[in-house]
Structure formats: C-alpha cells, structure tokens
C-alpha cells in the first residue's frame, strides 16, 4: 500500500508468511534507505524498524534471524522474540549487497555466504 509505505527499493518475504522486510527509497519514500521495516501484510501494520548507520543494500529473513547488508558490513540480528544485534561482519565494498543464507531451519548447518575480502573469493560463516 503506497500510502502506508511510500516508495521502496528492497523487499524480502519471510518464507511463505505474510511478513515482509522493506527498505525505503525511490521517488517518494516514507522511510529512509538506512531503515529496515518489518511489515505484517495480513494485519496491515509495521511492527518493527531497524535503523542502521548507512544505507541498506540487502535484507535476508529466516525464521530465527534477520541479515542486513550495507556497503561494508553484514549485521545479523536475532528474530522474532527479542530483536538483538548478534554480531557485525566487516566486508569489502559490496554495493549490490550480495549475501545468501541457508533458508531451511532443519538444515545440518546454517550458513551465511558473502563476497570475501579478496576479489573472486567468498566468505562462509556458520550461524548454527
């Protein structure tokens, strides 16, 4: 709904749920580009805002974590009960916010992958 959210540049859905992570931007944003908004589409409400120091390049959602990529960092937050920043990873410049996370909670290992410090490499972090 444009009146509620304004224009957005990023959207990530939590699995097959009604929860969306949105990042403002574009021509008429309601939220700045450094804020991730969690929106419940069924209830029609914003239930969480996470403010970062720099613009958000990507957001990934899991049932137990929120991963937010900025130009030079990846921030991992606990979710859904108590939202805490678990840790921050320093990265090389990542203007596209490239990162992925294991989507299945029952997987043997929960991995986060993002571009490594050396060009042409990737970094793997075990989130288990």
User: Confidence band (pLDDT; 50, 70, 90) for 3?
Assistant: confident
Q: Residue range 1-24: average pLDDT?
A: 88
Q: Residue range 16-31: average pLDDT?
A: 91
In CATH terms, the fold of domain 2-126 is: Methylamine Dehydrogenase; Chain H (2.130.10)
DSSP 48: E
Its pTM stands at 0.91
Residue 34's SS3 state is coil
pLDDT digits 0-9 by tens, 73-90: 999 999 888 899 999 999
H helix or E strand, kind and range, residue 88:
strand 85-90
Q: Where along the chain do its domains lie?
A: 2-126
Say what the pLDDT of residue 6 is: 84
């Amino acid at each position: 709904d444009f009146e509620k959210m304004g224009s957005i540049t990023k959207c990530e859905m939590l699995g097959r749920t009604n929860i969306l992570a949105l990042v403002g931007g574009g021509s008429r944003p309601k939220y700045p580009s450094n804020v991730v908004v969690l929106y419940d589409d069924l209830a029609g409400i914003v239930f969480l805002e996470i403010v970062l120091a720099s613009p958000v390049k990507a957001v990934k959602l899991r049932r137990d974590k929120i991963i937010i990529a900025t130009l030079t960092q990846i921030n991992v937050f606990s979710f859904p009960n108590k939202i805490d920043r678990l840790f921050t990873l320093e990265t090389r410049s990542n203007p596209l916010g490239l990162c992925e996370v294991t989507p299945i909670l029952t997987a043997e290992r929960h991995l986060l992958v993002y571009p490594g410090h050396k060009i042409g490499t990737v970094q793997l972090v075990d989130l288990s």
